[in-house]
Amino acid sequence: MINFKSAEKLAKAMETTNLKNDAKKEDMDKLVSDAIKYGFYSVVVSPYYLSYVKKQLKNSDVNVGTVIGFPLGYNEVLTKELEAKNSVYNGADEIDMVVNILAIKVEDYDIVKEEIQRVVDVSKDTVVKAIIETGLLTKQEIEKVSLIAQESGADFIKTSTGFNNVTGAKATDINIIKRVVPKMKIKASGGINNYKTAFRLLSSGADRIGTSAAVAIIDEFNKSKENYEEHFDKKSII
């Protein structure tokens, strides 16, 4: 089980996100300043804001991620390939790609494999995460697409977009993925808005947490740590 002894260590496992379609530049500025202040691993923004945010973070060690095929994933393979090329050109350190859920549902797994492979190929050294939308899949489908993601060269499996009105990241889904592809990295995302949930998912085997509530989670961690230390300080006095 993961035991975070500092907010700094926890922050390095978190990707702070703003993918709202009404987000303004001042929202991006806040996202960037928070990422630098708290030391988050990365920020994840829409392709529209990718270049802007990349410039804002040029003198920091915070990575920049973006999304393609977002949020439904049913774009054609060529479209995703072009999105990936454009994202790399605009400075993305990491790409989160929604896989074709429709193709999974009709068992057209060749398409799923092809799109991941082609995005990986054009992304070169850029990290690629395959978003599989676990809340829409059966256990068998999660197992199948996890194996395909591994075979196709993706660096991470990401649980969900958080945009499809379904249950987000669950520890049981993390367990399934870890059992089937134990060497794959996992990004848990969707509905993670408190430290308890983040801790449970990281303890289940997730390597990263993607959330729009990253600041609140760190603040909650710090508060819990303060209360814990205060409790034991009082006990030692007594």
Question: Annotated catalytic sites, by residue?
Answer: 96, 158, 187
For the chain, the maximum distance between any two Cα atoms, rounded to a whole number of angstroms, is 68
Task: Output the six-digit token pair for 202.
Answer: 């990281």
- The DSSP string of the chain is -----SHHHHHTTEEEEE--TT--HHHHHHHHHHHHHHT-SEEEE-HHHHHHHHHHTTTSS-EEEEEESTTT--S-HHHHHHHHHHHHHTT-SEEEEE--HHHHHTT-HHHHHHHHHHHHHHHTTSEEEEE--GGGS-HHHHHHHHHHHHHTT-SEEE---S-SSS----HHHHHHHHHH-TTSEEEEESS--SHHHHHHHHHHT-SEEEES-HHHHHHHHHHHHHHHHHHHHHHHH-
Q: Are 212 and 16 in contact (CB under 8 A)?
A: yes
Under a CB-based contact definition with an 8 Å cutoff, are residues 47 and 90 in contact? yes
CA distance linking residue 95 with residue 154, whole number of Å? 10
